[in-house]
Amino acid sequence: MSLDRLDENEIRYQISQIKELPLLPQSLKRLIEIIHFQVDNCKELECIIGYDPSLVSKILMVANSTYYGHPWKVKSVSKAIALMGVDHVKSICICTLLMNLLSQGRSINEAHRQMLWKHAFSCSRIASEITRKRPWLDGAEAAVLGLVHDLGWIAMASCFSEQFTAICEAAASKNVPLWYVESHYGLGHSQLGKYLAARWALPDDIKAVIEFHHFPDRCNSFKTEVRLIHIANVLSHSREYPEMMSEETTLRHCRDLYISEDEWLDYQDCLETIFTEVDELWNLLGSPQNDIAMLQDENETTGANVSRKNLNEEEGGWTTSSTK
């Protein structure tokens, strides 16, 4: 596909005219808030999930899958949280909501949707893994940063669909990453992601990661978080572009995070396990057939025992109550 390059003024004008920018789901906003402020309230998490039927079905689907392999049937969100753990449930919820956003992109076909989602979740898992040996970094926050770092592709697919399609075709033909060819069209997913994050009023660390995850040296704040996601991004792309793992820039950012050569090799060794986990979750969360099966199953069970009787969305917080 041949398209004219957009100059900076044209890009700014088109961005200013955007009226169909994807909206931030309230559930996703609240999940990001409770992770950002390190609120570990199971009851609030349960209520957020109960407010969104798609989250209820996905959480119960994962909890009852062979991924966990337990002998009993999980029929409530509270039991699912107890089985899976709060942090994993949060990640599944954010993955589900991001998948819904990807589905809104007019030019995102199934292959691109799968590629972007798997990359986001693998980055999330890798970033969280790296924080295990770094107590000054929070694993849950790192997981969120990994999940949302490529929001710019959602904005591009929704608002610049012709350029997005052309970029995907050019990258595939040259066997290079998408961001290697996007500059040819004068359009960058990091730039669009920055605009989307500002429109959504996301936290500053998320904005920095979205804008600078490919070029950490250009970032003036949240350098540790940006370097972390840059490294996770490189590892996530290691199947397609293994040479990126040995680039001097990558190794320098590893040193900045005190990642030794042995630890760097350890992360490379565990990638196949992470990729297998990502594939399993995609098969669970990304399959329409699974959604249908789950809904049919819910009609035969009591469903999620989450009361939303007095669940009200208020500015500055949520009010919840549960009944027995």
Residues 277, 194 within the same domain:
yes
The tokens for 300 are 């035969």
Q: Is the residue at 13 inside a domain?
A: no
CATH of the domain at 130: 1.10.3210.10
Residues 250, 184 within the same domain:
yes
Residues 64, 99 within the same domain:
yes
CB-based burial of residue 63 (10 Å sphere; 0-12 exposed, 13-18 middle, 19+ buried)? buried
CB atoms within 10 A of CB 243: 8
Residues 214, 233 within the same domain:
yes
In the prediction, which pLDDT does 85 show? 86
Question: Nearest CA to 141 among 23, 35, 277, 29?
Answer: 35
Question: Nearest CA to 88 among 106, 71, 65?
Answer: 65
Residues 227, 306 within the same domain:
no
**Which domain, by its residues, includes 267?**
125-283
Residues 165, 192 within the same domain:
yes
Q: How many domains does the chain have?
A: 2
Q: Is the residue at 60 inside a domain?
A: yes
Q: Is the residue at 2 inside a domain?
A: no
Residues 140, 268 within the same domain:
yes
Residues 250, 296 within the same domain:
no
Distance CA 143, CA 129 (A): 9
Residues 193, 299 within the same domain:
no
In the prediction, which pLDDT does 283 show? 83
Q: Which residues, 6 or more positions from 269, have their beta carbon under 8 angstroms from its beta carbon?
A: none
In the prediction, which pLDDT does 263 show? 96
Residues 269, 296 within the same domain:
no
Kindly give the confidence (pLDDT) of every residue in the chain, 324 residues in length, as a single tens digit, with 9 standing for 90 and above.
Answer: 556 666 666 666 666 656 555 666 677 777 777 776 666 667 878 888 887 777 888 888 888 887 777 777 888 888 888 888 888 888 888 888 877 776 665 556 788 888 888 999 999 999 999 999 999 998 888 988 998 999 888 878 777 778 888 888 888 888 888 888 887 777 789 988 888 888 888 889 999 999 999 999 999 999 999 999 999 999 999 999 999 999 999 999 999 999 999 999 999 999 999 999 889 888 877 654 454 444 444 444 434 343 333 333 333 333 333 333
Q: Which residues, 6 or more positions from 143, have their beta carbon under 8 angstroms from its beta carbon?
A: 35, 87, 90, 91, 124, 125, 127, 128
